Copies of this chain bind each other. A is one copy, B any other.
Amino acid sequence: MKRVTMGHGAGGEMMQELIAKSIAPFLPKIKIEVPLDSMDDAAIVDDIIFTTDGHTVKPIFFPGGDIGSLAVSGTVNDIAVMGGKPLALSMSMILEEGLEIEVLERVTKSIGNCSELSGVPVVTGDTKVMEKGAIERMIISAAAVGKRHPAMDHNLKVASSYRKVDSRWLTDDNVRDGDVILVSGTLGDHGIALLSFREGYGFESQVQSDCAPLNHMIGKLLAVGGITSMKDATRGGFANAINEWNSKSKVGMELVEKDIPMADAVRNASEMLGLDPLTIGNEGKVIIACVPEMAEEVLKALRSDEHGRNAAIVGKASKAVKHVVMRTEVGGRRILEPPVGDPVPRIC
């Protein structure tokens, strides 16, 4: 009998297969602007943008964040990277009987702070309790709704002045040959900080979770213009996100390894643990595709924001290659594959 494994909960190929085989086929087919099948960061129906994320992070408090800030940032960012303006959040909390009320309040305060920071209110919620042992402490499933960001018209007008743009939103299928690829900062921080803290490896003194709502920063980028697609590099990390662009936009990616921003602690920890940091989840980083003519402007805008200080151009979309090809620091080339399972479980 086939069973669910931890790998099915990762952002990689196993999860996509589970959804493709055991979930999507049983749901009615519908025609909306961005449907479930497109497996984008959020869906769009009747010009409402809508997303959900379940959070099972362990432990619930970690260096740089907690399950509350994760729940807000995760959904806010999913809306923002699609070119949406998040309007409201819902929180469904499942609590373990016996959980200290103090702990609940600490998480709720964090939700409140992060909600204030992002300017997106929690408007509705639900609370359930399961018996001691039936669930580990607490999980939160957040959902968010939004509308198209007012700066999207300008953003796409700028892009369209250089090349044809097919989508009204920043969908995964919108990257074209020649688009420049940027990342908003160092990669792998969240996963490594959490893993290190959980297992006591000690790297967490040097690296913290990057967990943050990025909607304000993204709004500034849209005001610059020329962005054609955007993703937050959460579960499955950068490797998964860039491969989704590759497969859905049907264009190769040429990356330069040395240009990818990474904290030394993340590099060292990954080496020690035998992990590829590019497959590790981030919670406050976006990858951006934009028309080449606007790349320097977008980079400048990124770097002027506190969440984009370490932003960099890391490569370009290119029909000269088929897959995601990375020029390595030693002068070789390797194909960057999406992760299959989950290198670091329960980090979000």
Show the binding face of A for B, using Cβ within 8 Å. 1-9, 15, 18-19, 22-23, 26-28, 30, 32, 35-36, 42-43, 45-46, 48, 50-56, 58, 87-88, 90-102, 104-105, 108-109, 111-112, 115-116, 121-131, 133-136, 139, 141, 143, 145, 147, 345-346
Please name all residues of chain B whose beta carbon is closer than 8 Å to the beta carbon of A26 when the two chains form the complex: 105, 108-109, 111-112
Contact of A130 among B48, B104, B125, B136 (CB under 8 A): B136
Question: Bound state CA distance, A15 and B104, in angstroms?
Answer: 13
Q: How far is the CB of A137 from chain B (nearest CB, A)?
A: 9
Distance in angstroms from A211 CB to nearest chain B CB is 17
Taking a contact as CB atoms under 8 Å apart, the answer to whether A3 and B88 are in contact is no
Could you say which of B45, B87, B94, B100 contacts A45, with CB atoms under 8 Å apart? B87
A50 and B135 contact, CB distance less than 8 A: no
CA distance A5 to B51 in the complex (A): 30
Distance (Å) between the CB of A110 and the closest chain B CB? 8
Residue on B nearest A54 in the bound complex, by CB: B92
The chain B residue with its CB closest to the CB of A99 is B4
B124 touching A6 by the CB < 8 A rule?
no
- Please give the distance in Å from A217's CB to the nearest CB on chain B: 20
Does A108 lie within 8 Å of B27, measured CB to CB?
yes
CB within 8 Å for A95 and B9 given contacts A27-B122, A88-B50:
yes
Residue numbers in B under 8 Å from A87 (CB-CB): 45-46, 48
Closest 6 CB pairs of A and B: A9-B129, A141-B141, A143-B143, A43-B123, A52-B90, A92-B141
Tell me how far the C-beta of A318 lies from the nearest C-beta in chain B, rounded to whole angstroms: 31
User: Nearest Cβ in chain B — how far from A300, in angstroms?
Assistant: 32
Task: Please state the number of chain copies in the assembly.
Answer: 2
Query: Are the CB atoms of A129 and B98 closer together than 8 Å?
Result: no
Q: Is there contact, CB below 8 Å, between B95 and A92?
A: no
- Residue numbers in B under 8 Å from A15 (CB-CB): 127
Q: Closest CB of chain B to A118's CB: distance in Å?
A: 10
- Distance (Å) between the CB of A179 and the closest chain B CB? 25
**B124→A9 contact, CB < 8 A:** no
Pairs A–B under 8 Å by Cβ, sample size 22: A1-B102, A3-B99, A4-B95, A4-B104, A9-B130, A22-B105, A23-B104, A23-B127, A32-B123, A36-B124, A50-B88, A50-B90, A52-B124, A52-B126, A52-B143, A54-B94, A55-B128, A56-B135, A58-B134, A134-B135, A143-B143, A145-B145
Residues of B within 8 A of A133 (CB): 133
CA–CA, A43 and B19, complex, Å: 30
Is A36 a contact partner of B101 (Cβ separation < 8 A)?
Answer: no
- How far is B125's CA from A53's CA once the two chains are assembled, in angstroms? 7
Smallest CB gap from A348: residue in B: B128
Contact B124 A54 (CB under 8 A): no
A127 smallest CB distance to B (angstroms): 6
Beta-carbon contact of A56 and B94 below 8 Å: yes
> How far is A95 from B127 in the complex, measured between Cα atoms in Å?
18
List 13 extra interface pairs beyond A52-B92, A92-B92, A126-B141, CB under 8 A: A4-B100, A45-B87, A45-B121, A45-B145, A48-B88, A51-B124, A53-B92, A54-B93, A56-B134, A131-B346, A133-B133, A135-B135, A145-B145
Q: Is the CB of A143 within 8 A of B4?
A: no
